[in-house]
Structures are given as C-alpha cells and as structure tokens.
Amino acid sequence: MDLDPKYDNYDFPYEAKEAQDGHAGHLTEAQIAQVHQFRMMLEAEGVTERLDTLTLLRFLRARKFDVALSKQMFMDCEAWRKEIDLDNLVPTWEYPEKTEIQKYYKQFYHKIDKDGRPIYIETLGGIDLTAMYKITTAERMLNNLAVEYELVADPRLPACSRKAGHLLETCCTIMDLKGVTLTRVPQVYSYVRQASAISQNYYPERLGKLYLINAPWGFSTVWSVVKGWLDPVTVKKINILGGSYKSELLKQIDEENLPKDFGGSCACEGGCENSDAGPWKDPAFSKPSQWEKKKAAATNGLQNNGSEIVTPANGEATPVVDAAAEDKVAATA
C-alpha cells in the first residue's frame, strides 16, 4: 500500500487484518500502480474529493481492478452526489418523520458483530408505500438512506476500526422478511430496488455479511436461481434463514449486542432502533468526522462581519482586523 499525503489523512487503522487480494496493506505492485493511475485519471477530470486510497480501492475492487470501468463508476457516483447536493445535505440533514416511518419500515444501526463491524437492521414486512408517502416522500427516504451511508463511512467505521485495532470497511446486515407476503411483494420490491441501486452503484464494497431472516416459504427456491446471477464473492456473504434464525445470528453477533426482537438480549432505553449505540458513540473511540471538521471550519472561518478568522499554532482563533471597518468605528465614536 502506498499512501498519498495529499489525500490519505487517516486517524484510524488503515490496514486490513487478513490478507485479502486488493485490500489495504495487501496490494501487489501492479495494484498500487493502478491506484495511482486511477487517481491521476480522476484528477484530470477535475475531481478533488474522495481520492484517498481506501475509497479508490473500494471502487477498483468493485470493478475487478479495471481502471476504466472503475473511473466510470466513480464519475457516475460524483454526478449523483452533485445531483442531490449530498456534501451539503449531510451536515444539515434532519429527518423528524423517522418515528412515524418506523411504524412501517425500520432501518437502523445498532452496536457491532463479533468481527467488530456495525450491525445494520431493516424490517421489510410492514412496508406500505401509500401510507409512508403520506408521511414523507420517496426522495426524502432515499436521501436519508444516502446520509446514513455517509455516516457509516465516517464516523461509524473509523470508530469501529479504532476499537478493533485494524481496518474495518463493511457492515453486518440483517434484513427481516417477516410479513413479506405475495400481496406486499410489489411495494417491497419497488423500494428495495431503488435503495439497492444506491448501495451497489455508489457505495461499493460495504457488505460484510447479509442475513435474510424469516424468509417466506419458497424463497429458498427463488434464491437458488438468483444466486447464479451474482458474483460468487457476494453469494458467500449472504445467508438465507427461516424463522429459526437465532442460533445462526448468535454465531456472528454477541447476544448482548443483538436486539431482543431478533433473538438477543439488548433492550436499549427508548428502543434499539432509536439508540444508534456503538463505538461511534463511545468517547474512547469516536472522533469528529471529516464533514464535522469541515462544517466547524466553515463556521469559524468568518466572523459575523465577514472578517476572516486565523487559527495559529496555539489553537486560539484570532480575527483578521479589517482596517476600513476600524476607521468606520473610529469615525462613529
């Protein structure tokens, strides 16, 4: 792995624990050269953000280290980010309708699995788009999903990496299919298809393990066909479980980290779906995210009167005095 001091300013472990092809700390000379080539191609297109090595490696792995295809995927992602103004959306996002939406569709991050990865849980059986769109819009639901993916990248995964002592880049996902009947399939599929497109196209290489629990009768037959269309690497990450899923989940997740509703013993005050509990909330492992630092810098960069703030080495902010403004004050006095 060859770090670039211009972009690779990591404050968390950045090498993978296990030697995996194309992963940080375990690259061939050819792969290192492809990272450099990829970055140079993006810079030539005027891209200046998200050019750190870990991000580039995720896009390269998603396209089997085909640099041209990786570049197209990255540029498509950048176009989408600009379309929804994601960089400005993240630090200002509010989603007050979440409590009402949870009556139909829960999606939340909660603690970590035995590998130290964030656990992400979705319940799909209650999805009723007609009722949900009376509370919010499809655009806001998908924007909320995008913001949550950004929070996974920073601060959730960096905090988990600090706790684990090595790089973690993926999540452990539980998708509960309880209640997904034939009559609900069209609505569930409609939303999941849109959400999955965001995941696959713009946030590659974030899936560590996926557990589909309470899979309805006949689902295994469908899966046996579908998995033939998927990358074998992805198939290995997916586990199809029926109603007797508890023992399998507990092989991957400590009981105290798994909500009671899914066979564990955790019962966070106010509901596990609202706690956002995890290392990212623990002062021992959490640090301000990059977007929080940028927001703070933007806030502190100017005084109310527009005078620039300069922060010297001692960390104390000092205003740059506007001479013309001083003259006006003196004249008034």
DSSP 253-268: S-GGGSBGGGTS-B--
> SS3 for 72?
helix
Strand order in the sheet with 171-176: 106-112, 118-123, 171-176, 207-213, 238-240
Q: Are residues 30 and 65 in the same domain?
A: yes
- What whole-number distance in Å separates Cα of residue 321 and Cα of residue 307? 7
| CA 276 distance to own-chain centroid | 14
| Each residue's pLDDT tens digit, 14-54 | 999 999 999 999 999 999 999 999 999 999 999 999 999 99
Q: Are residues 170 and 255 in the same domain?
A: yes
Residue 257 has pLDDT above 70, yes or no: yes
In sequence order, what are the beta bridge partners of 119?
A: 172
- Comparing 120-129, 205-214, 215-224, 276-285, the range with the smallest average pLDDT is 215-224
- What whole-number distance in Å separates Cα of residue 21 and Cα of residue 303? 49
Q: Are residues 273 and 135 in the same domain?
A: yes
Mean pLDDT of 116-142: 95
Give the structural domain span for 70: 1-84
| CA 87 distance to own-chain centroid | 13
Q: Are residues 125 and 241 in the same domain?
A: yes
In sequence order, what are the beta bridge partners of 266?
A: 259
| Each residue's pLDDT tens digit, 134-162 | 999 999 999 999 999 999 999 999 999 99
Give the number of domains in the chain.
2
Residue 8 has pLDDT above 60, yes or no: yes
Question: Quick count: other Cβ atoms within 10 Å of Cβ 144?
Answer: 19
Q: Are residues 214 and 127 in the same domain?
A: yes
Extract the tokens encoding 304: 């109310």
Q: At 176, which CATH number?
A: 3.40.525.10
| Residues near 1 by beta carbon (within 8 Å), at least 6 away in sequence | 14, 15, 24, 25, 26, 27, 32, 53
Mean pLDDT of 93-116: 96
Q: Are residues 225 and 106 in the same domain?
A: yes
- For the chain, give the mean pLDDT: 88
Nearest CA to 122 among 199, 218, 192, 217? Answer: 192
Q: Are residues 126 and 268 in the same domain?
A: yes
